[in-house]
């Protein structure tokens, strides 16, 4: 489960921004109890304010974790999209960080990249709510926690400067990193730029599937709605209903 996501220097996002999925409370007592991440969130803002680029950044992070080892040739650098309205932003690294809750254990994983290489990368876990270093990479220098096996240290020797250590370690059967790597392999994010309008004509199976997904979303959002149904109406009934609704709005 995603708890938070942080990004900086990506597309229209120059300074670090955080998408927080855990509720905040005024009293220390409420905060001390611990609360799970919310199942549904909304991102609001004016047009061209960067809403879509928050999701685009998460997609970029996911794709880099998934394809870093497979698609990056030695010395080919790293494709990214730094903030375009400040020339100096191209010289600064882009930052991506997630906080996750997986099987009751919290993890923090992040990396900073420039056009040439991975500048920094780290993974921490919090078993029993105590911070534990899995690895921390600074350019080509690595440090490891006391619970990280010797075999993980050997992974650094086969990790290119433009490839994520997490991707190589997971493919090298390092079990400590697999929960986080597997999360990225499962997560599905759809870029709003690529969403297509649903066709006007849907068969009964398609409509039922969309209805079930809508009900699940409404239930997760705690709206109080437990079920819904599709009611068929003729063209005459549709015209009558819309005319009636229009009359009510005018009178109001």
Domain, as residue range, for 161: 2-193
* pLDDT tens by residue, 127-138: 988 899 999 999
Q: Which of 151, 170, 193 is the last residue of a domain?
A: 193
Are both 63 and 160 inside the same structural domain?
yes
User: What pLDDT was estimated at residue 31?
Assistant: 40
User: What pLDDT was estimated at residue 92?
Assistant: 95
Q: What is the mean pLDDT of the chain?
A: 84
How much is the pTM? 0.73
Are both 211 and 176 inside the same structural domain?
no
Are both 171 and 215 inside the same structural domain?
no
Are both 75 and 140 inside the same structural domain?
yes
Are both 118 and 239 inside the same structural domain?
no
Are both 147 and 216 inside the same structural domain?
no
* pLDDT tens by residue, 79-127: 999 998 888 898 999 999 999 999 999 999 999 999 999 999 999 999 9
List, edge to edge, every strand of the sheet that includes 94-102: 17-20, 2-8, 94-102, 105-113, 118-126, 132-138, 141-144
Has residue 195 got a pLDDT over 50? no
Residue matched to tokens 């955080």: 18
Tell me the HSE value of 199 on the side-chain side, using a 13 A CA sphere: 5
Q: Are 77 and 116 in contact (CB under 8 A)?
A: yes
Please report, to the nearest 10 degrees, the dihedral formed by the alpha carbons of residues 55, 57, 61, 66 taken in order: 60
Query: Which two structure tokens, joined as six digits, stand for 17?
Result: 């921004």
Q: Which of 170, 193, 216 is the last residue of a domain?
A: 193
């Amino acid at each position: 489960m995603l708890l938070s996501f942080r990004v900086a220097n990506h597309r229209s996002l120059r300074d670090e921004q955080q998408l927080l999925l855990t509720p905040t409370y005024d009293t220390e007592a409420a905060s001390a109890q611990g609360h799970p991440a919310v199942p549904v969130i909304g991102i609001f803002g004016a047009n061209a304010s960067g809403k879509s680029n928050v999701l685009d950044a998460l997609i970029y992070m996911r794709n880099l974790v998934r394809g870093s080892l497979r698609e990056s040739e030695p010395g080919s650098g790293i494709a990214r999209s730094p903030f375009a309205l400040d020339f100096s932003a191209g010289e600064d690294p882009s930052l991506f960080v997630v906080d996750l809750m997986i099987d009751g254990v919290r993890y923090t994983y992040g990396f900073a990249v420039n056009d040439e290489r991975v500048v920094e990368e780290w993974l921490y876990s919090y078993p029993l709510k105590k911070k534990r270093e899995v690895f921390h990479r600074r350019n080509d220098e690595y440090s490891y926690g006391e619970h990280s096996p010797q075999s993980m240290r050997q992974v650094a020797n086969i990790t290119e400067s433009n490839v994520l250590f997490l991707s190589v370690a997971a493919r090298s059967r390092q079990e400590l990193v697999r929960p986080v790597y597997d999360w990225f392999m499962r997560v599905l994010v759809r870029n709003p730029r690529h969403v297509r309008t649903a066709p006007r004509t849907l068969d009964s199976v398609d409509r039922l599937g969309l209805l079930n997904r809508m009900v699940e979303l409404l239930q997760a959002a705690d709206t109080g709605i437990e079920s819904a149904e599709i009611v068929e109406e003729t063209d005459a009934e549709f015209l009558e209903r819309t005319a009636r609704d229009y009359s009510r709005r005018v009178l109001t």
